[in-house]
Structure 1
């Protein structure tokens, strides 16, 4: 049996064990009758998926009847049983991903696909010299921006319990356990599942912005920080394996940013005071984290001057510290006699403590000045750590703690004292209003006044903590150069200005989201680059960042047209910046779902237009993506490797490229496909008068608005479909299992183009040769495989009879899209080449289905006026989200 096949069997073993333990808990907590009912529902659901068509239909009818007659008192525990099961399956699959990676490494079958080791070997085979790789890594920058988009349906309390279960699964796999240890591990798992069952999975109220700040920083403190510190070693190891020479000392190329507490777009709870408190919370938590790491290092660097050489530089540094910090010398001097490195770390800890006391004082309203002994910036700390680094080398202690010092240096370089750099986002309208008021116009709107107050808080924060704490201002719904210049004016007049360099101390970032703005983006950049003062600002800053939005464009014109517009915009923006001699940094506002720019990160990067990466990549990480990608160290490491590997291959032009002779015809064909898809999508979503009534009744959009999963409202402002955010839009279609935004219009486009002479042949050639088109089609195939139109039909039956023709259009387009995607890929069934994903979907569907059936029934009861349906309905939302592994 192959090692990988063995791993697959281990996944089944884990799922079986967790399901067995859950069954025991159900019987203990709810009784045998509830367990029997849940098992009956489960068996009917499985029968609905398997066997002859007549048996499948009979099972579906029986399942619907059983759930229709089920009292609410029984519905809730049955829902919770399936929802809890999915948490356990998700956990087992996460653990399985880590196990597959480990087993692959042990199998001696070569590096894992898309790992950094595999990427380095690909670069070597492509003839890329070591010097070019080294040069790129020294300048490369990958920025992950963590956001508070309301897509994390799970409570932190529940997530913590699943993380503990994950550690128990890891314990079972690592090493040989004695019979007693195995029994104890299984008992501990049973205890965690019992506690999980007895814990309310729904929040009682919406999280505050402060709650969201704590949630996102958990991932940074507990997982990502360590991975950033280790990344230089990972890169060095992979580089040396491929090129046979060391990479050399390297700073981590990854940076973490956050919107949480700074994103004002449609969230009235992000006030100037909230922003200021968030900035100080970042700094306080960052300083505490650094103090803990320095204290831990003190237990490593215990070398005695009796046995090793102490450099003059370190001795001089200690003398200065003793003069500056006599209280610390008096307290710790006797304890560190003859241990110079440990003494130095005590002084470092004290300077960090002084900086922390200052921050906490400011949060409490005190105005004491920063103590002279406190670190004023991360650069001050780095100077002390570099003294330690050099002295350890002189003391022949490269193997005596130097590696751990360098990890800390790497972490300080990557995170400073703030864990994650805060970014501010505001509507472009607010910037225009604020700028007009500063130039003698009318008083600013409420949003304009808030923006001006926020800019003041940014100025104060930069004065306290340095520019690096918060230096990005993103303008949502930007549509003109005037929007950017208005924000630039506001920054200057708010004091965010460096006279010496002649530039603002913030980067103004237009966010092009809708089709018109994406197409106008190149013209807008040309106007900005021609503005003398703004161009001087850019030359001093060194970069113009532009954010491209994948969500609102998809909601506006459909998947194909949005994909084409984004590709065109990125190509043109890159060309305009190159012609102007301005460095461009593209910021990808990706969501977790395909309809919002989601999909495998490595492939997505490789599919970007040529020249658009150039060693720099920035993207959002939203909602449930944090848990899927960063909940465990191994998951985070794999995610970071996939992103870094994609950036390396793209920047060094070492991935498969479209031949220059094919680029013109392929892009023209895709633009034509996009226009056909746009017409089909718009005619349904924006032009059919029955669509909004259908959407409102055939999806749980009203219930989603009531789900307390984020501080931000589901709409930007009062209004209809146009004001609804893309996240609840996609969430609603995922819940009813149609997932319409991820495929509607694609079938019509492929059919019309593919039915022309040589049309299908060209589409097949595009799929084989063009990474961009290949990625688009593969993502559509994944969404089609996850969709279930038979279940979606049950939701459609809730809509008015007048919408029946509209639903038939949707069903026909779904069938058309499945048929034509298979014709283009040449596969006889969807996901034929991705057995792992196909298996995962097949494993989940029979357990998601009962929750969908119940959701339909509960929506029917609620609309008929039955009381007490809200809580079980919310449970179905959370459960289906867990089963589908997607919200928005």
Structure 2
């Protein structure tokens, strides 16, 4: 293999971090550990680069004792974490360098303006809705302490990048780097206890504080700049707050007994506390900058009237502000707003009843101040930082993110049975919806959540006994009452969606509507179609539902539907699931157009490529014609959240990419190839063959035992990645296993089957029936098929036949092992044939280089994992043995940059 050619600064940064890590290993663990790590590193690189002994790494690992293995696994895990950090920094530098040219950066909103025109973009922005949803699937394997440590290392590297840096300062930075890497070395990589749902909320709030709240106005400013150029900040913005966030964290209770009605109430309060603090601080800061006096910048009559009204209502606050800024009415109005935000959060104020009625009242005061400043000759004061605040209020409200509740349809059925209602009787459900019976006597209206009390309360969790005794069905109506309380306290936007897992028919929707009628709560019911069969039936179910809701009236004008990427792939395999999702969208879009319904498709995408992962902007552009139409909603989870929002520059870039793609996909007159309309017969043949291959594997006799033997699926729960159990229910098979651990386990043994298995068989069947030229034509003309192949290529390049074959041997089923390896070889060959490449990632040099850099060191962790998988499962296994295995799982997840 040729030498890996990385960008100079990236190569230098990786070398620096590797050298400092080596120094810390020698200091902290001893020279013998450092030498053993070096021995493994050199052997692994020699095999990959120069064709050295393929067994050298395995031979060294065979001689390690448990303590040595733990040190080796720790060293390579931290190396991957530092390498990921360096690559993230390289992406930031590349973005900054590309932003210095005369042309807009590719995939930016400026690029969209150039492609479809400023007028078209302006028209689309007026009705645009982009809605990322942070999910309660925390597949981030790293502990919070590790993430914080890496953030501090990043800050030191940023200092090292400074153009003017003295020798003394450089020495100081390098000392800080050694200190931080030493801290990272001594920081436990594995959680000792499972995080609670509230822990997960607090972790998400840390991301909000670090980047999201601060980045959002700069993102809007970038959009506005693309429209107004140099006039931006001096004219009223043409960019409404079209971006809003949602969250399943603390609301998703499907299979997670720890998420109770109390947790949901606490979650809403925590999010409100965080955003109100942010808005209060920003408003207070901006108020201090509005120091223009009334002689130079006269206030409008409307502003003076509003100020007089508020000063009469809040005399104590007014007196204090008059003392500070008697001649600056704009400052006084914003200072009073800051005081009112504090009272909204705490429920207390110097004057009685100071709390805002809601975010709309604050937005009105901001707009009034802007209009007055502009009329007074100060437009840059009106549309500068004050506009940033207006955008933050418009996107976050007083709730930060719209909290969504998700529950399994079977739980809803059980809740109705306990109320004496047959959950399968459509007529009985209709009767309840039309004339709901009284709620149970023991169901009381909860008190509205108090942000201050919740934010300061100690963290707590259900005990194991409480978890075992949890009663999700009994908590359904209580949760609905909590939703109503959240709406009263923070507004309807704070919590109004109820997602139904495993929706199969009309009855699932009517169950929730009946329960909501009994509880007296207003919720939007969101069906989630997950399996291939349910996706195929989705258009018909929606047709029935809308007919049911319309009756003799106009019925719903808008509808939201969620598409499950995870379970459909687990059910039908990578190719068949993707084709089923595409087919379902086509059917729903056609039905919605005919029925006169505005449809929002909610994409339940995971982090791994086998669960719908991959670049979001390309996924947007790959949707069927009409599927976006100014609305894009998608889940973001686990390590994906940190990858996209852990750095301010990357967060802005991510938001620009999905916005640009949504604008382009929604542009009037845009022509896009409908894959099924062009080559439907070929795609159907491909899907049939692919799904048959997948089912032949996962439904083979003895496959569950084989899967448990060759992957660390049973050990994943010990990583304590999230509050949710890895299974929905206990069973000897795979039915109750969640898609995240399923995908995670396949990735750990370097197979990645959910991201490619069956594709080769499907492509081969299409080639035999239609010819290779037809496949290449589809690849060249269909964004959907090109994106699908690109994602499969990434999954294939993360697979490794040698490591996989060693893991597969543990299953003692050579027939199944050979079937997997044969499909891997076939899929690789067919993907190369269709794309016209001689090697995977041939056209994506940077990704290929990053993958090639990782592979040698991945071999080391794989060898340690393979050996300790057997050791940790033995009768004489110790906690230290199990710790080694878990550490390798963390390290491999870091190397692959995804878990599930």
Distance change >3 Å, CA 806–CA 371, structure 1 → 2: farther
- Contact kept? 2:749, 2:862, Cα under 8 Å: yes
Would the alpha carbon gap of residues 247 and 558 (structure 1) be closer, same or farther in structure 2, given more than 3 Å must change? farther
1:374 and 2:358 equivalent? no
Render the CA deviation track for 1:804-833: whole Å, top value 9, x for unaligned: 111011111110111111111110111111
- Specify whether residues 371 and 789 from structure 1 end up closer, same or farther in structure 2 by C-alpha distance, changes over 3 A only: farther
- Would you say how many aligned residue pairs link Structure 1 and Structure 2? 848
Deviations 1:384-437 (A, max 9, x none): 111211111122122236311111011101000111111110111222333455
Q: Secondary structure in 2 aligned to 1:887?
A: coil
Secondary structure at 2:652 match in 1: helix
Identify the residue that residue 202 of structure 2 maps to in structure 1. 214
- Counterpart in the other structure of 2:765: 752
Q: Distance in 2 between matches of 1:681 and 1:284?
A: 48
How far 1:633 moved relative to its partner? 0.5
Of 446-455 and 809-818, more deviation after overlay is shown by 446-455
Q: Is 1:397–2:383 an aligned residue pair?
A: no
Q: Alpha carbons of 1:762 and 1:242: their partners in 2 closer, same or farther (altered >3 Å)? A: farther
Give 1:524's aligned residue. Answer: 541
Q: Which residue of 1 aligns with 2:725?
A: 713
Task: Give how far 1:484 is off.
Answer: 0.8
Where does residue 90 of structure 1 map in the other structure? 84
Aligned to 1:153: 141
Q: Which residue of 2 aligns with 1:725?
A: 738
Residues in 2 aligned to 1:807 and 1:654: alpha-carbon distance in whole angstroms: 50
Contact kept in structure 2, 1:229 and 1:408, CA below 8 Å: yes
Aligned-pair CA distance for 1:856? 0.6
The CA deviation string for residues 614-666 of structure 1, in whole angstroms up to 9 with x for no partner, is: 000000001110111110100101111110111011101576622x7x85341
Counterpart selection for 1:80 from 74, 85, 94: 74
- Could you tell me how far 1:724 is from its partner in structure 2? 0.2
- Whether 1:651 aligns to 2:663 is no
- 1:499: which partner in 2? none
Query: 2:870 aligned with 1:860, yes or no?
Result: yes
Supply the distance in 2 between the matched residues of 1:557 and 1:279 (Cα, whole angstroms).
Answer: 37
In structure 2, the residue matched to 1:289 is 278
CA contact (8 A) 1:239 1:246 kept: no
Unaligned 5+ runs, structure 2: 424-438, 441-469
- TM-score w.r.t. the length of structure 2 is 0.91
1:239 aligns with 2:227: yes
CA shift in 2, pair 1:230/1:605, >3 Å:
same
CA distance in 1, matches of 2:230, 2:300: 36
CA distance in 1, matches of 2:257, 2:788: 36
- In the TM superposition, 1:224-303 aligns within 5 A as 224-240=212-228, 248-303=237-292
Structure 2 residue aligned with 1:549:
564
Match among 676, 688, 703 for residue 689 of structure 2? 676
In structure 1, distance between residues paired with 2:352 and 2:861: 59
Please state whether the residue corresponding to 1:732 is helix, strand or coil.
Answer: helix
Question: Are the structure 2 counterparts of residues 141 and 536 from structure 1 closer, same or farther at C-alpha, using a change threshold of 3 Å?
Answer: farther
Question: Residue 373 of structure 1 aligns to a residue in which SS?
Answer: coil
- 2:724 aligned counterpart, secondary structure: coil
Distance of aligned partners of 1:6 and 1:664 in 2 relative to their CA distance in 1, 3 Å threshold: closer
> What does residue 502 of structure 1 align with?
none
Distance in 2 between residues matched to 1:150 and 1:605, nearest whole Å:
24
Aligned to 1:35: 34
Change (3 A) 1:7 1:23: closer
Q: Look up the SS of the partner of 1:798 in the other structure.
A: helix
For residues 645 and 654 of structure 1, the distance between their equivalents in structure 2, rounded to whole angstroms, comes to: 16
The 5-angstrom pairing of residues 571-590 of structure 1 reads: 571-590=586-605
Cα shift at 1:743: 0.9
Q: Please give the residue correspondences for 1:398-477 in structure 2 after superposition, counting only pairs within 5 Å.
A: 398-400=379-381, 402-435=383-416, 437-438=418-419, 440-441=421-422, 446-477=471-502
- In structure 2, the residue corresponding to 1:434 is in which secondary structure? helix
Residue in 1 that maps onto 2:446: none
Counterpart in the other structure of 2:528 = 511
Q: CA shift at 1:228, angstroms? A: 2.0
Please list the CA deviations of residues 575-617 of structure 1 after superposition, one character each: whole Å capped at 9, or x if unmatched. 1111111111100000011110011111111110000100000
Cα offset for 1:232?
Answer: 2.7
Q: Using the TM superposition, give the Cα deviation of residue 761 of structure 1 relative to its aligned residue in structure 2, in angstroms.
A: 1.0
- Provide the residue aligned with 1:886 in structure 2: 898
Shift of 1:6: 11
Give the Cα–Cα distance (whole angstroms) in 1 for the partners of residues 487 and 745 of structure 2. 41
Residue in structure 2 matched with residue 501 of structure 1 by the alignment:
none
Distance across 1 between alignment mates of 2:396 and 2:247 = 12
Question: Which residue is equivalent to 2:518?
Answer: 493
Distance 1:231 1:78 in 2: 42
> The residue matched to 2:811 in structure 1 has which SS?
coil
Alpha carbons of structure 1 residues 65 and 532: separation in structure 2 relative to 1, 3 Å: closer
Which residue is 1:642 aligned to?
A: 657
The within-5 A match list for 1:3-402 is: 8-52=7-51, 55=52, 58=53, 60-106=54-100, 108=101, 110-124=103-117, 130-240=118-228, 248-358=237-347, 372-400=353-381, 402=383
Superposed CA deviations along residues 49-84 of structure 1, whole A, max 9, x for unmatched, are 1224xx3xx2x3222121112011111111111111
- 8 Å Cα contact 1:515-1:553 kept in structure 2: yes
Cα shift readout 1:821-854 (whole Å, capped 9, x = no counterpart): 1111110111111011100100111111111100
Instruction: State which of 799, 805, 812 in structure 1 corresponds to 2:822.
Output: 812
Q: Distance in 1 between matches of 2:235 and 2:337?
A: 31
The TM-score with structure 1 as length reference comes to: 0.92
Does structure 2 conserve the Cα–Cα contact (< 8 Å) formed by 1:781 and 1:821?
A: yes
User: What secondary structure, in the 3-state scheme, does the structure 1 residue paired with 2:629 have?
Assistant: coil
Q: For 1:637 and 1:138, how far apart are their aligned partners in 2?
A: 21
> Structure 1: where are the runs of 5+ without partners?
125-129, 362-367, 497-504
CA 1:179–1:252 in structure 2 vs 1: closer, same or farther (change >3 Å)? Answer: farther
Q: Answer yes or no: is the 8 Å Cα contact 1:456–1:494 preserved in 2.
A: yes
Correspondences of 1:628-639 after superposition (within 5 Å): 628-639=643-654
Q: Distance in 2 between matches of 1:135 and 1:483?
A: 38
CA contact (8 A) 2:369 2:382 kept: no
Distance 1:110 1:869 in 2: 56
Instruction: Measure, in 2, the Cα distance between the counterparts of 1:421 and 1:528.
Output: 24
| Contact 2:271-2:399 within 8 A present in 1 as well | yes
Superposed CA deviations along residues 353-410 of structure 1, whole A, max 9, x for unmatched, are 211122xx9xxxxxx9x95321121011111111211111122122236311111011
| Matched residue, 1:764 | 776
Compare 325-334 and 579-588 and name the one that shifted more: 325-334
2:463 maps to what in 1?
none
Q: Tell me, yes or no, if the aligned pair for 1:716 and 1:724 is still in contact at 8 Å.
A: yes
* Preserved CA contact (<8 Å) 1:656 1:771: no
SS in 1 for 2:735: helix
Question: For residues 80-111 of structure 1, what are the alpha-carbon distances to aligned partners after superposition, in whole Å with 9 as ceiling and x for unaligned?
Answer: 111111111000000100101111223x2733
1:199 Cα deviation (Å)?
1.3
Aligned residues of 2:235 and 2:383 also touching (Cα < 8 A): no
SS where residue 755 of structure 1 aligns? helix
> Are the structure 2 counterparts of residues 137 and 725 from structure 1 closer, same or farther at C-alpha, using a change threshold of 3 Å?
same
SS in 2 for 1:724: coil
- Maintained 8 Å contact 2:370/2:382: no
* 1:538/1:582 contact within 8 Å kept: no
Q: Output the aligned Cα RMSD.
A: 2.3
**Deviation per residue, 1:115-154 (Å, 9 max, x gap):** 2222221213xxxxx4332111111000000012031101
